[in-house]
Every structure is written in C-alpha cells, then in structure tokens.
C-alpha cells in the first residue's frame, strides 16, 4: 500500500500540492486526473520518491519513503516517465534490460533476458529488440519505457509483504487506440497480480473504463476522490475543468463516458439554427 498524508509541495514560494491525502493499495488501478497544471505529474514524482515533499509524508507499506534507499525503492516501484530522449544509440532491448539491472536482483543474465523479451511482447514490440531507440516513433518509445518498467518489477525479488507499485505518467498520450487498450489492459493485469498501479491520465473516458479509483486534482488540491461512478458527475467535472461536461453511461455496465466536444458542437449548431 502506497499512502500519502497531508502532502504539501512548494517550489519558489508557490504551493504546487496542498493537503493531499491518498492511498493506492495493491490490486487496484488508481487514476489521477485533473486539468493542466493541477499538479498531477508533481504528485506522481513525490509519490515515486523523486521529489521530497515540503510537508507531509509518503509511506510505502508503512515505511517512510525518505528512509528507503534508491536501490531498495527500485525493487518495489517502477516508473514510466512522460518522454525521454537518449543521446547515445541504445537498442530497444538494451533500454529494457536496464530495468533488470537494479542491484539486489538475481544476477542470472538469461533470466533478465527472458524478462526483457517477455516485457517487449507484452507492449507489442516483439520484433523491435535490435532496433535503435532513437529511431522509434513517439508511441513506440513510450512502450519501450513501459516494457522497461514491467521488466524492472518482474525481475526484482520481493518479500510477500512488500507491495510492488507501477507508476505511469500519461502512458497513452502518444498511443493509437489499439495500443491504448493494450497498455491499459496490461495495467489491469498488473493490478490483478496484486500490484498497486498509479496512472496519471488525461483521457477521462480511458480513466472511467479502466480505473478502480479516481483522484481528481484541481489547483494542487484533491477536488474529489472515489469510484468512477461517483467522480464522473456533470457537476464535479464541470467545476474542476471549468467547462461544461456532460457524462453519459453505456447501457449494460453503466460505464461513464463523456464527449464534451460533441456538446460544444451541438451548442454551435443550436446557435446557428
């Protein structure tokens, strides 16, 4: 379980995060949503241990984050950043294998290679192992990093009491529809094997369809928190995003979906007629 309590983050006198309480238990996909500049990525960085909070605490399985060494943390938490460029010609498989190079892993190389190959298959990059990372498209690069994170969690040794956390920062932003589904299905599968999955995501429809819990941030504060069915509400969303959003639900399961651009189009048509 990854928990945050009374989290405050200040940079150059500006309060970027304020009073954040949050819990991401194993076995669940938690989506962090919110408008631009709400502090989603900052929150993820603090939760990953990359940034130290100005006040408040982050705990992983009850242990204060700042007391865990980088190496020990890497065995229990993998993070996929938004985008990276490499200055040197790494191949795809070399990047993925870096995930299995964390100290404390078993040193068996063939195992690391198996994990890497498997992770590449998982993200749909089976034939890409020998390609140069820098020659890939944006979406392919994103998937390489997802594979690297998966490899990191798969290769690491953990005790049963330790929760593995997978953090994804907008993993679907450059993906086509098919790969969006593929990556989020994998996120669900990770939750299915007991890992805590945290996703920062912009696409509300994807969040509604794949997340177990939603955290809605607005201006550095938690605007709302709960199940998708509770959060995806016309009033809550419209207030958080500052524009009219109408939530619909698909008939059988009642999954919420929203098409604000259709609403805007309908309004324009109404004015025209």
List interacting residues with other proteins (CB under 8 A): 45, 48-50, 69-75, 77-79, 81, 84-91, 93-95, 98-99, 101-104, 129-132, 134-135, 152
CA–CA separation, 74 and 66 (whole Å): 13
Q: Which is nearer to other proteins, 129 or 259 (CB)?
A: 129
Please, are residues 257 and 247 in contact by the beta-carbon 8 Å criterion?
yes
Q: Which is nearer to other proteins, 104 or 126 (CB)?
A: 104
Provide CB contacts within 8 A for 234, sequence distance 6+.
Answer: 245, 246, 247
Structure token pair of residue 127:
């034939």
Report in angstroms how near the CB of residue 91 gets to other proteins at its nearest: 6
Q: Which is nearer to other proteins, 69 or 250 (CB)?
A: 69
Give 132's DSSP letter.
B
**DSSP assignment of 92-136:** HHHHHHHGGG-TTS---HHHHHHHHHHHHHHTT-GGGTTSBGGGS
Q: Which is nearer to other proteins, 49 or 220 (CB)?
A: 49
Q: Which is nearer to other proteins, 9 or 48 (CB)?
A: 48
Report in angstroms how near the CB of residue 102 gets to other proteins at its nearest: 4
Among 224, 182, 267, smallest CA distance to 20 is for 224
Report in angstroms how near the CB of residue 74 gets to other proteins at its nearest: 3
Tell me how far apart the terminal alpha carbons of the chain are, to the nearest angstrom: 55
CB atoms within 10 A of CB 252: 6
Burial class (CB in 10 A: 0-12, 13-18, 19+), 66: exposed
Structure token pair of residue 159:
């005790």
CB atoms within 10 A of CB 21: 13
Report in angstroms how near the CB of residue 171 gets to other proteins at its nearest: 14
Q: Which is nearer to other proteins, 103 or 126 (CB)?
A: 103
Report in angstroms how near the CB of residue 54 gets to other proteins at its nearest: 14
Q: How many Cα atoms are found within 13 Å in the side-chain-facing hemisphere of 108?
A: 8
Q: Which is nearer to other proteins, 164 or 237 (CB)?
A: 164
Report in angstroms how near the CB of residue 99 gets to other proteins at its nearest: 7
Report in angstroms how near the CB of residue 30 gets to other proteins at its nearest: 18
Please, are residues 46 and 16 in contact by the beta-carbon 8 Å criterion?
no
């Amino acid at each position: 379980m990854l928990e945050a309590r009374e989290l405050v983050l200040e940079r150059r006198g500006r309060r970027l995060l304020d009073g954040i309480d949050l819990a991401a238990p194993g076995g669940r996909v938690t989506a962090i949503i919110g408008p631009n500049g709400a502090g989603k990525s900052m929150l993820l960085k603090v939760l990953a241990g990359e940034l130290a909070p100005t006040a408040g605490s982050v705990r992983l399985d009850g242990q204060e984050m700042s007391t865990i060494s980088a190496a020990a943390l890497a065995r229990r938490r993998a993070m996929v950043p938004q985008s990276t460029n490499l200055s040197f010609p790494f191949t795809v498989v070399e990047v993925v294998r870096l995930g299995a190079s964390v100290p404390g892993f078993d040193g068996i190389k063939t195992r690391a290679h198996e994990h890497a190959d498997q992770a590449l298959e998982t993200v749909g990059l089976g034939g890409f192992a020998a390609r140069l990372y820098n020659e890939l498209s944006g979406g392919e690069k994103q998937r390489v990093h997802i594979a690297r994170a998966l490899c990191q969690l798969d290769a690491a040794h953990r005790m049963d009491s330790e929760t593995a956390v997978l953090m994804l920062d907008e993993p679907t932003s450059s993906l086509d529809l098919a790969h969006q589904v593929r990556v989020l299905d994998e996120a669900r599968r990770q939750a299915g094997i007991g890992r805590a999955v945290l996703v920062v995501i912009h696409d509300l429809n994807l969040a509604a369809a794949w997340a177990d819990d939603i955290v809605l941030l607005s201006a550095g504060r938690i605007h709302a928190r709960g199940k998708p069915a509770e959060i995806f509400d016309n009033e809550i969303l419209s207030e958080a995003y500052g524009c009219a959003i109408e939530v619909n639900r698909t008939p059988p399961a009642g999954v919420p979906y929203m098409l604000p651009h259709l609403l805007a189009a309908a309004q324009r048509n109404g004015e025209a007629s």
